[in-house]
A and B are shown apart, each in its own frame.
Chain A
Amino acid sequence: MVRVLSQETIANIEKLFPRYPTRMAVLIPALHLAQNQVGHISEEVELDIAELLDVPPTRVREVATFYTMFHTKTAGKHTVRICRNLSCQLRGAEQIMQKAKEVLGIDFGETTADGRITLEHDECLAACGTGPALWCDDNLVENLTEEKLEKFLVGLK
């Protein structure tokens, strides 16, 4: 019995089965696909994936909570992750983080009231030569200034 996953998501997950000798190996890719559809990994998503991959639901929960890219609670339409590691900090990431809070009116770990943006820290994006940097919707925004950041955040629809 499928609870929330769409036929399309299920088909995309099943397409990955032949790539690996076990079904469990599809767990992380499946969580990505499910999160793309649903927005976060709810209990229903966990149960759907557990049945699809024939693994215990506790295993799905364990993995979904271990990896930082999976949201286990409702998240905004976009997640903005600002790097706070050393190379970015040496080039002023602290000021960028303050500016982000100010522009969005929320703290890190929170979501804007309109559900548009969730703001998160990131621990190194491997974009050290172009920091301060952020990552959003699978793309980097690099060499951030306050103006560039504000323009980007306001432009996220």
Chain B
Amino acid sequence: MTTHPYAPQGFEVTLSKRWFVAKGYTYETYVKDGGYEGLKKALALEPGEVIDTVKKCNLRGRGGAGFPAGIKWSFVPKEAEKPKYLVVNGDESEPGTYKDRYVLSRDPHMVIEGAAIAAYAIGAHQIYFYLRGEFGLPRRRLEAAVAEAYDKGILGDSVLGKPYKLNAAVHRGAGAYICGEETALLESLEGKIGRPRLKPPFPAVVGAFGGPTIVNNVETLSCVPLIFTRGVDWFLSMGSAKNGGPKIICLSGHVERPGVYEVPNGFPCNKLIELAGGVWKGRKLKAVIPGGSSTPLLVPHACQALAAEGAPESDWPLETDTPLDFDSVARAGSMFGSAGMIVLDENTCMVRTLAILGNFYAHESCGQCTPCREGTGWNTKMLWRLERGEATEDDIDTINSASSHMLGMTICPLADAFAMPVQSYLKKFREEFVEHVRRKGCWFPPFELSPHGDPFWEDTP
């Protein structure tokens, strides 16, 4: 049993196991630890059987949308005129999310193995790892691991002795959040600006270079070898039938011990915050952003949707007690997204918080759709005006109405990704927004300079 300081006591970690081992990123360590056994088992099956196995696990995409990977794979046509591709989405850039960084820099062979299984399942002979441009150490480690994999007969003209040509290349992005959206990523891979494509056709049919393509998140693929070594039942035993498997969750903001925690799916949010030492400095919890900056807030208020049917109000759990899996967090009114959890203490100004997020979305809008290009920018300007005390109460309604005209109006969900938090913050903290008008500005203290702190999570070459 391997546990570590960033997992519940007694829980056997599998995804983050080698992060805590010296040179855990090398082929040698990985293979000693049973690495590439999952690939061996998968290669003994027919591709269709591999897809069925992953379908049975209901492995839901860890990049944000939570779409079942096995079903996604099954959309790839068996026969295709153009080559098929497996693309690994390592563009991790949803604020609050920093898990794939460690998968890539501390255990790159696990994602290579998962990608090889996925490529075999869909009949792809080329893998592209698309990594965000700012990933220095993760990219260098992955490149070294890919070279090792060629050396050891995992990539090349055959895979572990089975005649199946499989090549892999690491592709570096250049600083654009939008390229985490899978069709923008494909545009970028093809050498274009990252503008999302209209769907359909979906990438599984027309993807990279016109060929059928599956785009999977780094963590999603890291789960795949485990399915073949430990089995479907093991995977399903963690969490519920629709939300199985181990999960890594990124904690940042106002907790005592930030870091990436590995837990079973459905681990309660309040228990995770406790595990992280609680809200820092003994302060009260104001709100939690559960799944990356675009997800609506959870607040410590009673939530009927999480309660058993007919339970009296006194027995309702709090929103912030929600089990952390896609379906439960959705019931609590938010989204588990990319598991980038940001904890906000009682001294946090919600107007400033939202305005900071606005800067980001306004900067990262690709500019293709008007509601997004204009909406993110204007809303952000109004929010800063409110924070500075230059806004009227009418402006709050304008922000609300502008955001409602962004929802569902664009090619990709970037506009929603800002409109959803805007509506959520306004709904849950409207009084605080109005008070900024009345008091002609912000009365909350500035954010204190106090680094997250643990050098364990720093990039160490």
Contact = CB atoms under 8 A, between A and B. Distances in A.
Interface of A: 19-22, 24-29, 31-32, 53, 55, 59, 62-63, 66-70, 81, 84-87, 89-96, 122-132, 135, 138-140, 142-146
Interface in B159-208: 167, 169, 171-177, 188-194
A157 B455 CA distance: 25
Interface in B244-284: 250-254, 258-260
A124 B132 CA distance: 11
A3 B396 CA distance: 54
A69 B135 CA distance: 12
Contacts of A68: 174-176
Interface stretch (B62-70, B382-390, B423-431, B441-449): B441-449
A126 B193 contact: no
Contacts, number: 191
Given A22-B209, A128-B250, A139-B459, A67 B97 contact: no
Contact of B250 (A27, A67, A129, A144): A129
8 contacts: A66-B194, A89-B447, A91-B450, A91-B451, A123-B364, A129-B452, A142-B457, A143-B453
B252 A124 contact: no
A92 B451 contact: yes
Contacts of A94: 446-447
Contacts of A59: 191-192
A87 B459 contact: no
Given A128-B250, A138-B136, A146-B449, A86 B92 contact: no
Contacts of A55: 191
Interface stretch (B22-30, B234-242, B353-361, B432-440): B353-361
Contact of B101 (A22, A25, A81, A127): A127
A98 to B, nearest CB: 10
Given A85-B356, A91-B451, A96-B449, A122 B134 contact: yes
Contacts of B83: 21
A96 B356 CA distance: 16
B447 A29 contact: no
Contacts of A24: 190-192
6 cross-chain pairs, A with B, having the tightest CB-CB distances, nearest first: A92-B449, A67-B174, A27-B191, A68-B175, A24-B191, A69-B175
Nearest to A125: B134
A6 to B, nearest CB: 20
B133 A67 contact: yes
B95 A86 contact: yes
B244 to A, nearest CB: 26
Contact of A140 (B359, B446, B454, B459): B459
Contacts of B78: none
A138 B135 CA distance: 7
Which one of B95, B100, B167 has the greatest number of beta carbons of chain A within 10 Å? Answer: B95
A91 B452 CA distance: 7
Nearest to A19: B169
A95 B101 CA distance: 26
Contact of A131 (B353, B360, B451): B451
A143 B455 contact: yes
Interface stretch (B297-305, B340-348, B405-413): B340-348
Interface centre among A67, A93, A94, A122 (most CB of B within 10 A): A67
Contacts of A143: 451-455, 458
B451 A126 contact: no
Question: Which among A55, A69, A93 has the highest number of chain B CB atoms within 10 Å?
Answer: A69
A26 B191 contact: yes
A113 B22 CA distance: 43
Contact of B348 (A90, A92, A93, A128): A90
B98 interface: yes
Nearest to B173: A28
B137 interface: yes
Contacts of A129: 98, 250-252, 258-260, 452, 454, 457
A67 B176 contact: yes
Nearest to A131: B452
Given A28-B172, A127-B98, A139-B461, 18 more contacts: A25-B209, A27-B192, A28-B173, A28-B188, A62-B193, A68-B176, A81-B134, A87-B253, A91-B253, A123-B364, A124-B95, A126-B93, A128-B96, A128-B98, A138-B136, A143-B453, A144-B451, A146-B449
B357 A86 contact: yes
Contacts of B363: 123
Nearest to B133: A69
Given A55-B191, A124-B95, A28 B174 contact: yes
Contacts of A130: 258, 451-454, 457-458
Nearest to A81: B134
Nearest to A90: B253
Contacts of A21: 83, 209
Contacts of A138: 136
Given A87-B253, A131-B252, A63 B175 contact: no
B134 A86 contact: no
